[in-house]
Amino acid sequence: MTKMTRRDAIVSAGLAAAFGLSSRLAIDPAFAETPLEPAVGFRKYKVGDIEVTAVYDGIWRKPHDAGFIKNASVDDTKAALAAAGQTTEFMPIPLTVVVLNIGGKLIMVDSGSGVGQWQPNATNLPGNMEKAGIDAKKISTILVSHFHPDHIFGLMEKGSNTAVFPNAELIVHDVEYKWWTEPGRVEKLPEARKGLGTRIQNVFPNWKNFKLVADGTEVAPGVRLINAPGHTPGHAAFHVSSGGKQLMISNDVMYVPALLGPHPEWQGAYDQDGPLAVETRRNLVNRVIAEKMMICGAHFPFPGTGSFVKDGNGYVFTPEAA
């Protein structure tokens, strides 16, 4: 049997789309070439004049859970992982944080999981940032995609909730901030989210370095906030453009591409509005494909960057090599 290369997968998907074929293609075999954890915990690349550094925080070896995908079974998710060449022993959910260097100014997208506050083995962000030559004290701006633990716990010290980046400007979609900090919100949350909601309400309204922005706002030179709701009410992606090159920092829109690439209609347990998350996912990935841009995601295989092509009603994702 001839092994399908990355190029073969992309070309085949493109031909299938061109001829209107709806048959499913094999997941790009590049997945099988992606190690569970990287040997080197950072990767630098350029988008025009903007330097992007992907920094590995850790991985959640999530036990299989019948509720993880609302409209798919554990057998379905295991089959998708197997087709992608990934382990089926557990659900692999890595976490990568992006740091942009724009004219010497350091801008971080989300803050990681807080040195084990999210998962016990997700403790690698500070060390890998140092290895990448990034001085955390010089980060001037943090773009916050949404208020889930693996994206905001790095803003707060464990136990004391002391600000880890007290001098950085924290930029977030106004819808996300207002939803989580609304009086009475904690009482409306599911039991599993009450602790998170309480921590947010006890801490964030007391900080003076939050800047609330709307959809389409240029949050840094060449970087715009893109409204991408569904996963949370004000979930945001960030579009990076420089020198004719583009990158979509998608955060949790397509959080496990081995599953949601071939099955974009699947709704995750952590999607607050499942149908809206599906609509957002399709719209954002279709734009990425139409404009031939790179895309990265917080939970993509490290270094979290790659490209999509259409495949019938789904997509084929090609990750960049670690």
Q: Tell me which H or E stretch contains 41.
A: none
Instruction: Give the pLDDT confidence score for residue 19 in this predicted structure.
Output: 35
Q: How many residues does this entry show for the chain?
A: 322
Residue 5 has pLDDT above 60, yes or no: no
Q: What is the domain range of residue 278? A: 6-319
Number of domains the chain contains = 1
Residue 30 has pLDDT above 90, yes or no: no
- Sole residue written with tokens 């090609």: 318
**Is 147 within the bounds of a domain?**
yes
Residue 15 has pLDDT above 50, yes or no: no
pLDDT digits (tens, 9 = 90+) for 38-79: 999 999 999 999 999 999 999 999 999 999 999 999 999 999
**CA–CA distances in Å: residue 287 to residues 23, 33, 246, 284, 292:** 22, 27, 11, 5, 8
- Asked if the peptide bond before residue 303 counts as cis, ω within 30 degrees of 0, the response is yes
**Is 216 within the bounds of a domain?**
yes
**Is 1 within the bounds of a domain?**
no
- Spatial separation of the C-alpha atoms in residues 173 and 227, rounded to whole Å: 8
**Closest by alpha carbon to 29, among 80, 75, 85, 78?**
85
CATH number of the structural domain spanning residue 307: 3.60.15.10
| Residues 125 and 115: beta-carbon distance below 8 Å | yes
Contacts of 208 (CB under 8 A, 6+ apart): none
- Banded pLDDT at 16 (limits 50, 70, 90): very low
- Spatial separation of the C-alpha atoms in residues 10 and 27, rounded to whole Å: 10
pLDDT digits (tens, 9 = 90+) for 227-271: 999 999 999 999 999 999 999 999 999 999 999 999 999 999 999
- Spatial separation of the C-alpha atoms in residues 299 and 255, rounded to whole Å: 5
pTM to 2 decimal places? 0.90
pLDDT above 90 as % of the chain: 85
- Spatial separation of the C-alpha atoms in residues 91 and 260, rounded to whole Å: 13
